[in-house]
């Protein structure tokens, strides 16, 4: 059974409401209609009646079971409450006029619905850029206590094989402290999806086989994780083959309990992570589900703009599971 099927059993009948700000996109309304029909979540689609219906017509779906909300027609009293909450949250960083402008942006409007507890999570990014999705989340939802950076993980699945890859979506450069945070959050993500985490801190070097600042960074990050989570199975620096192939792990890192057995892979840069997951997806035949934003105070999902309706469907289920 895939982890998505497992999550369906967890979220069904929990009546978690997930907001979709991009109601004018046929992929989004198609996913929302399917989620509602399957009884998995309560989808709330944002947009004018005309654009939502146009998207539904293009997708050939029935939206009778899907809730819709036009931000332009939001009741005055509710909008004033939202405006006041955002002013307070921004703590003087924005003027009332700037807050009004922010709330005219559907991404900010949807994020405020999450912040105010009107919905349980948000799925966006089919139309909007990562910046347009993540910026409101960072300004309003903010990171969990003790977390300085958010990160993006993918669940990679092929048959019975299931792995976590991170950071593949957010941080262009990771210092040692950020890489350690990504490792800890990725281990938590793994647990959420039924994976007992064994974490490899990846590099082009295994246990000192190469030298340089990039290698030292991964070594320092590994040491930080050991100090912060001494019971977590984690090791580094490891090359990918040493991390995943038992015979190579035994050869290159014979003293490591992680080498050859890792299922959570923490990449040293966004460049490496993004390239890595796409190689596994396109050449290795793995299904890549995500990115799953890690480290936020509430579930916010940032889709790829190339996402299919099925991708959106799966990410919404994950987002609902994060809200449980």
The pLDDT of residue 220 is: 97
Q: For residue 10, what pLDDT band results from cuts at 50, 70 and 90?
A: confident
The pLDDT of residue 201 is: 97
Sketch the domain layout of the chain as residue ranges: 3-142+296-323, 151-287
The pLDDT of residue 94 is: 86
Rg over CA atoms, the chain: 21
Mean pLDDT on 101-124: 94
Q: For residue 1, what pLDDT band results from cuts at 50, 70 and 90?
A: low
Taking the C-alpha atoms of residue 172 and residue 271, their distance in angstroms, rounded to an integer, is: 7
Supply the CATH classification number for the domain 151-287.
3.40.50.10750
Mean pLDDT on 298-317: 90
Mean pLDDT on 247-268: 95
Residues ≥6 apart with Cβ < 8 Å to 91: none
The pLDDT of residue 289 is: 85
**Do 3-142+296-323 and 151-287 have matching folds?**
yes
Taking the C-alpha atoms of residue 142 and residue 4, their distance in angstroms, rounded to an integer, is: 27
Alpha helix segments (H runs only) across the chain: 3-11, 26-37, 49-59, 76-90, 96-103, 106-115, 130-136, 176-192, 213-228, 240-244, 246-252, 270-282, 309-323
Q: Provide the mean pLDDT of the chain.
A: 92
**Least confident range of 44-48, 53-57, 192-196, 296-300:** 192-196
Quick one: tokens of 37?
């029909």
Question: What percent of the chain is modeled with pLDDT above 70?
Answer: 100
Mean pLDDT on 81-110: 91
> Closest Cα to residue 303, out of 120, 107, 144, 91?
107
Question: Token match 């939502």: residue?
Answer: 52
Mean pLDDT on 140-159: 91
Q: Does domain 3-142+296-323 have CATH number 3.30.930.10?
A: no
Mean pLDDT on 122-128: 92
The pLDDT of residue 211 is: 93
Mean pLDDT on 197-206: 96
pLDDT at 166 over 70: yes
pTM of the model: 0.84
pLDDT at 2 over 80: no
The pLDDT of residue 194 is: 85
């Amino acid at each position: 059974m895939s982890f998505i099927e497992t999550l369906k059993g967890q979220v069904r009948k929990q009546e978690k409401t997930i907001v979709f700000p991009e109601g004018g996109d046929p992929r989004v309304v198609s996913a929302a209609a399917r989620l509602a029909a399957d009884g998995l979540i309560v989808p709330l689609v944002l947009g004018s009646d005309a654009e939502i219906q146009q998207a539904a017509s293009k997708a050939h779906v029935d939206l009778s079971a899907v809730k819709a909300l036009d931000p332009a027609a939001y009741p005055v009293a509710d909008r004033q409450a939202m405006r006041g909450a955002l002013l307070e949250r921004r703590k003087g960083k924005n003027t009332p006029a700037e807050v009004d402008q922010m709330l005219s942006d559907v991404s900010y409007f949807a994020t405020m619905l999450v912040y105010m507890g009107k919905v349980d999570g948000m799925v966006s990014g089919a139309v909007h850029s990562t910046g347009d999705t993540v910026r409101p989340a960072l300004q309003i939802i903010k990171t969990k206590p003790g977390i300085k950076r958010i990160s993006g993980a993918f669940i990679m699945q092929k048959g019975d094989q299931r792995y976590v890859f991170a950071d593949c979506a957010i941080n262009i450069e990771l210092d040692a402290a950020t890489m350690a945070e990504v490792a800890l959050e990725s281990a938590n993500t793994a647990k959420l999806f039924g994976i007992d985490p064994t974490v490899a801190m990846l590099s082009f070097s295994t246990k000192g086989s190469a030298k340089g600042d990039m290698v030292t960074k991964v070594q320092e990050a590994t040491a930080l994780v050991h100090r912060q989570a001494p019971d977590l199975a984690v090791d580094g620096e490891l090359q990918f083959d040493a991390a995943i192939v038992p015979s190579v792990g035994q050869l290159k890192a014979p003293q490591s309990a992680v080498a050859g057995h890792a299922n959570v892979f923490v990449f040293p840069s966004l460049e490496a992570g993004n390239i890595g997951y796409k190689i596994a997806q396109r050449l290795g035949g793995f299904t890549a589900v995500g990115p799953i934003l890690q480290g936020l105070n509430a579930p916010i999902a940032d889709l790829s703009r190339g996402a299919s309706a099925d991708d959106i469907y799966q990410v919404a289920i994950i987002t609902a599971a994060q809200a449980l």
